[in-house]
Amino acid sequence: AGTGKKAEWNGVGVLKDGLRVKVLGNVGSPADALAAAQAGAEGVGLFRTEFCFLDAAEEPTVAEQTAAYEAVLAPFAGKPVVVRTLDAGADKPLAFLNPDPEPNPAMGVRGLRVAFDRPEILDRQLEAIAAAAKSSGADVSVMAPMVATAAEATWFVERAHKAGIARVGVMVEVPSAALSAREILQVVDFISIGTNDLAQYVFAADRQLGGVAALNDPWQPALLRLIALVGEAATATGKPVGVCGEAAADPLLACVLIGLGVTSLSMNHTALAGVGARLATSSMDICQLAARGALAAGDPASAKLAARAPH
C-alpha cells in the first residue's frame, strides 16, 4: 500500500492513533540543514560534524568550529538538534585525526575511540558546540559515535557535562552496545541507533562493498532482533531511542522500528514526507504487529511481506 501515491505530510510526526513520533533530519552542511527545515523536519536527529571538516589539514580552531556549527543550527532555533561529535576514521578519515593507516580501519581507532588518546580535541569540539548552541538558540544535545561499552558512554557523558552540555546520548552502532543497552541507558539521556554501521558489524560485511550489500539489508531479521533489544531497554527505562541510519528512511521499515520501541526517526530530507505520510496511516497496534511479523521472518523479503500484512 502507498506505492505511487504522492506523499502528503504536514511536518508533524504522528501515528494514526495520535501518538507522537519525532521525524527528524540527518544533516552535514548548512545546505542540508536548510533542505531539512524546508521539508518539514521537526529538528535534527543527526548532525554529522565530520562533514564540515573533510578538507581540513589541521584541527579547526574553536572559533572556526563554532562558526561552522552555527551555520548548520541556524534554521533550527527553538528546535531539537542532536550534534554528533567527530566520527572520523574508516569511510570518513580526517587528516588531523586519522594520520596513520590501519589494516582494518572500520574496526580501528575511529569515532569516539580517537578521543581516548587525545581528549583535548573532543573537549575543544564540545566547547564549540556549547557556544554554537547558545548563539543559535537551537535545543542542542550531543552524542558520541562508535561507543562499545557503558564505561565509554560514562566517560563521554562526564566530558560533555563538564563542557556545559546538559543532554547527552550515544550512538548504538556496535553490537556490544546494543547488547548493553540497559546499562548504557542508565548513564545517558538517549540512544540513537546507527543502522548502517550496526548492520556492517552484525554481519561482518563492509558497508562500502557492493558484493556484500545483501547482508547489509536493513530488513535482515537478525538486525531487527538487535534493534528490538534496544527498543525493549528504552521502554523499560522510559528513555528515548532514535534511529538515524538509512533504515529510518524506508516508510514501511519506519513503522516496524516504531513497533520495536523506537521513539524518533532521523533521515535524509528527501525521505521525510514519505515516512511522515506512512506513519500517519499506521497505528501503534499496526506497527507492533508489523514488527512482530518481521522479527519472526527468516529473511529480508519475508520480513517485508510480514510487515506489509497488517496494513
Q: How far is the CB of 269 from ligand PEP (least distance, A)?
A: 15
Q: Which helix (H) or strand (E) holds 159?
A: helix 150-162
Q: How far is the CB of 196 from ligand PEP (least distance, A)?
A: 3
Using CA atoms, how far residue 42 sits from 20, 25, 79, 167, in Å, is: 11, 8, 7, 18
Residue 268 sits in the site that holds ligand PEP (CB under 6 A): no
Q: How far is the CB of 221 from ligand PEP (least distance, A)?
A: 18
Residue 261 sits in the site that holds Mg ion (CB under 5 A): no
Residue 173 sits in the site that holds ligand PEP (CB under 6 A): yes
What is the spatial distance between Cα 290 and Cα 78, in angstroms, rounded to a whole number?
A: 34
Pairing of strands 190-193, 168-172: parallel
Residue 288 sits in the site that holds ligand PEP (CB under 6 A): no
Q: How far is the CB of 254 from ligand PEP (least distance, A)?
A: 14
By C-beta, is 87 or 250 nearer to ligand PEP? 87
By C-beta, is 194 or 221 nearer to ligand PEP? 194
Whether the CA torsion 147, 149, 150, 155 is positive or negative: it is negative
Q: How far is the CB of 152 from ligand PEP (least distance, A)?
A: 16
Query: Which position among 194, 242, 293, 300 is part of the footprint of ligand PEP (CB under 6 A)?
Result: 194
- List the single partner that 258 binds among ligand PEP, Mg ion, none, CB under 5 to 8 Å by kind: none
Contact 198, 248 (CB under 8 A): no
Query: Which position among 32, 59, 197, 250 is part of the footprint of ligand PEP (CB under 6 A)?
Result: 197
Region class of 111: left (phi > 0), else alpha (psi between -120 and 50), else beta: left
Residue 50 sits in the site that holds Mg ion (CB under 5 A): no
* Contact characters 75-94, ligand PEP, x per CB under 6 A: ------------x-------
Picking from 43, 23, 20, 19, the residue whose alpha carbon sits closest to that of residue 33 is 43
What is the spatial distance between Cα 33 and Cα 269, in angstroms, rounded to a whole number?
A: 9
The three-class DSSP label of residue 5 is coil
Residue 194 sits in the site that holds Mg ion (CB under 5 A): yes
By C-beta, is 197 or 250 nearer to ligand PEP? 197
Q: How far is the CB of 197 from Mg ion (least distance, A)?
A: 4
Residue 42 sits in the site that holds ligand PEP (CB under 6 A): no
What is the spatial distance between Cα 149 and Cα 225, in angstroms, rounded to a whole number?
A: 19
Long-range contacts of residues 94-101, Cβ cutoff 8 Å, at least 24 apart? 94/50, 94/53, 94/54, 94/56, 95/56, 95/57, 95/58, 96/53, 96/56, 96/57, 96/58, 96/59, 97/59, 97/121
* Contact characters 43-62, ligand PEP, x per CB under 6 A: ---x-x--------------
Binding site for ligand PEP (CB under 6 A): 46, 48, 87, 173, 194-197, 244-245
